[in-house]
Amino acid sequence: MASDGQVFVKFGHVVAKHCLDKRCSAELLCAAEQTHTISSQLSIVARVKAVTAESKSSSELLVNNAQNLIGAVLRVLKAAEAACIKGLQQPLPDSEEKEVAAFCLHWRKTLLWHRAKETLNSDRDKFGLRKTRARAEPTLTAMVQQSP
């Protein structure tokens, strides 16, 4: 789990590097660094727990750090969503970063398509206001969970 956290740190750094909005980039870098710190802590705690006797407090500490890592990863994904909405520069054609940019671009197109479809919804209430459907907007978190 700690190594997966590092994958999201790298993802955050790539998106921040190509983000057109400096504030979004700074927020994303902050979230990525927090994720890096928590991921490193989780790795250390897991190694210590592996060589020490089983105790309830060490198990609780491990679970607590894992939950903190999940929260930090979610903050990276939310910050990446904001960065993607603001816009990303195109990475070099033959770089690893192109895959990250393509993933973000796919999510942004899906989001914009969803919003356009919701805008065209002609269901109106008695006051003439457009009714929204119960379907939630697509998120990067949902796309990451769907990826193999």
Split at pLDDT 50, 70, 90, the class of 10 is very high
CATH tag for 1-145 (out of 1.10.20, 1.20.120, 1.10.1660, 3.40.630): 1.20.120
The backbone torsions φ and ψ at residue 92, rounded to the nearest 5 degrees and listed phi first, read -60, 145
What's the predicted TM-score (pTM) here? Answer: 0.81
Question: Which residues lie closer than 8 Å to 119 by C-beta, 6 or more apart?
Answer: 130
DSSP 52: S
Of the CA atoms within 13 Å of residue 16, those in its CB half-sphere come to 21
What Å distances lie between residue 39 and 26, 43, 100, CA to CA?
20, 6, 21
The structure tokens listed for 124 are 């109106």
Express each pLDDT in 83-131 by its tens digit: 999 988 887 777 778 888 889 999 999 999 988 887 776 677 788 777 7
Q: What is the largest CA-CA distance in the chain?
A: 66
The pLDDT score that the predictor gives to residue 117 is: 81
Report yes or no: 11 and 70 within 8 Å, Cβ to Cβ.
no
Regarding predicted confidence, which is higher, 138 or 121?
138
What are residue 124's DSSP bridge partners?
130
Q: What is the arithmetic mean of pLDDT over 139-147?
A: 78
Burial tier of 148 (Cβ tally within 10 Å: 0-12, 13-18, 19+): exposed
Report yes or no: 29 and 12 within 8 Å, Cβ to Cβ.
yes
Whether residue 17 is predicted with pLDDT greater than 70 in this model: the reply is yes
Express each pLDDT in 26-81 by its tens digit: 999 999 999 999 999 999 988 888 777 677 777 888 899 999 999 999 999 999 99
DSSP for 83-109, written as a single string: HHHH-BPPPPTTSTHHHHHHHHHHHHH
